[in-house]
Every structure is written in structure tokens, then in C-alpha cells.
């Protein structure tokens, strides 16, 4: 099966998710600069979620770049990932509107954690298809980064009830860890094709 449509559909869903979050920035009815103040936590939640979704899109891009074909099981694993990502606008808005309180922050982290697990499942289902000695499998390896992220999310969810800011620090930490996109795949691919500047790669 062709991978281009699953890429196009994922691009569409992720583009919508990342963009409709901005609709939660409710337009103030006054022109005063102070009316923007209550929007600051909503805005910061938006920035964090924009980066998170951006990371997922980048890694999704890298991962499918290394894939040659897909199967029905991959379509569903991909939809499962998109499902959890699609809940991000809701948890982002809830967290932002309530000025960083324990429950919304924990729920926000829960959706991030489930997205992380869904990404892992998707990667596994792609590696099963490509084979254990494929560029993708070598690049993905033990996915230490993915596993560490899930552990940090789980810890942060618990700690959110102690102090929501500790949890936020955990989420930001994971984001920073991933801001370097998944170069592993790129590196191995380049090595296997033997050139850094494949012209029409």
C-alpha cells in the first residue's frame, strides 16, 4: 500500500490540531492591554502544545521517510496516535484557563503520555513491517528517548498533585529533549545511501 496518503491524512489532522488550538485564545472585548493578561497562561499552554505537536509532526515525518510501504495495521496504529493528539487542544485549553492547577495539568500530561505510547506502538508496527535489519529498526533502536519521556510523563502526572509547576517543568524538559528532531533515522538513512546531499531525496 502506498504511504503517501497516510502521510497526507496525518499532515491534515496534525495541521488542524496545531491550528485550532489558537481558537481557544478568546478574543477580549476591550482594547486595553490589561485584557491580555488573563490570556497569558492560555498563551503559554498554547506555545508548549504547539512545540509538542510540532515535535510529533517532525518525528512522524522522519519515521515515514524511512518507510517503504504500509499495511492496514499501520493505518490503525497511526489513527490511534492521531486520536490522542486530537485531545491536545482540549487539555491545553483546560490547563490554560485554570491557571496551572493540579488536575488539568495532570490530565494534560496523561494525554501527552498516551500520545508517547501510541507513537511507540506505531513505530513498532512499522518496524515489524520493514524488518529488524531495516534502516528504520536500526535508527529506532531501543528508543531510549521515547521510553524516558513516558517515564517522565508518568512521574510528572503524580507530582502534579504535589505542585503543578513540577509537572510543567517535566513536560518542558521532555520537549527540550526532543527539540533536536529524530536525527537518528536521518543519519542511518544517509549512511546507507552513502551521501549527505541526495539531490531529490
Interface residues with its own copies (CB under 8 A) are 1-2, 5-9, 11-20, 22-25, 27-33, 36, 47, 50, 54, 57-58, 61-62, 65, 68-69, 71-72, 75-76, 79, 82-83, 86-87, 89-90, 93-94, 97-98, 101-104, 107, 179-181, 183, 186, 197-201
* Residue 124: how many other CB atoms lie within 10 Å: 14
User: Closest distance between its own copies and the C-beta of residue 97, in Å?
Assistant: 6
User: Closest distance between its own copies and the C-beta of residue 138, in Å?
Assistant: 18
CB-nearer residue toward its own copies: 46 or 153? 46
- Closest to 116 in 3D by CA, of 140, 141, 80: 80
End-to-end CA distance of the chain: 20
CB-nearer residue toward its own copies: 48 or 152? 48
User: Closest distance between its own copies and the C-beta of residue 105, in Å?
Assistant: 9
* Residue 79: how many other CB atoms lie within 10 Å: 16
User: Closest distance between its own copies and the C-beta of residue 157, in Å?
Assistant: 13
Helical residues (DSSP H) of 31-182, grouped into ranges: 40-65, 72-86, 88-97, 102-130, 135-140, 144-159, 164-179
CB-nearer residue toward its own copies: 82 or 138? 82
Contact between 79 and 60 (Cβ < 8 Å): no
User: Closest distance between its own copies and the C-beta of residue 161, in Å?
Assistant: 11
* Cell 536525527 found at: 183
CB-nearer residue toward its own copies: 79 or 151? 79
CB-nearer residue toward its own copies: 66 or 138? 66
- Closest to 81 in 3D by CA, of 53, 45, 47, 105: 53
Amino acid at each position: 500500500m502506498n504511504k503517501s496518503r497516510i502521510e497526507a491524512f496525518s499532515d491534515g489532522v496534525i495541521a488542524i490540531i496545531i491550528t485550532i488550538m489558537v481558537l481557544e485564545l478568546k478574543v477580549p472585548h476591550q482594547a486595553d492591554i490589561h485584557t491580555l493578561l488573563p490570556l497569558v497562561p492560555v498563551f503559554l499552554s498554547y506555545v508548549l502544545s504547539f512545540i509538542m505537536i510540532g515535535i510529533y509532526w517532525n518525528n512522524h515525518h522522519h519515521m515515514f521517510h524511512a518507510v517503504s510501504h504500509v499495511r492496514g495495521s499501520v493505518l490503525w496504529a497511526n489513527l490511534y496516535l492521531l486520536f490522542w493528539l486530537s485531545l491536545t487542544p482540549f487539555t491545553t485549553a483546560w490547563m490554560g484557563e485554570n491557571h496551572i492547577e493540579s488536575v488539568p495539568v495532570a490530565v494534560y500530561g496523561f494525554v501527552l503520555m498516551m500520545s508517547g505510547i501510541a507513537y511507540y506502538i506505531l513505530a513498532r508496527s512499522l518496524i515489524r513491517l520493514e524488518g529488524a535489519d531495516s534502516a528504520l529498526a536500526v535508527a529506532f533502536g531501543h528508543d531510549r528517548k521515547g521510553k524516558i519521556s513516558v517515564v517522565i510523563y508518568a512521574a510528572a502526572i503524580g507530582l502534579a498533585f504535589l505542585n503543578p509547576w513540577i509537572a510543567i517543568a517535566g513536560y518542558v524538559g521532555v520537549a527540550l529533549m526532543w527539540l533536536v528532531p529524530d536525527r537518528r533515522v536521518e543519519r542511518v538513512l544517509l549512511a546507507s545511501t552513502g551521501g549527505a546531499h541526495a539531490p531529490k531525496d
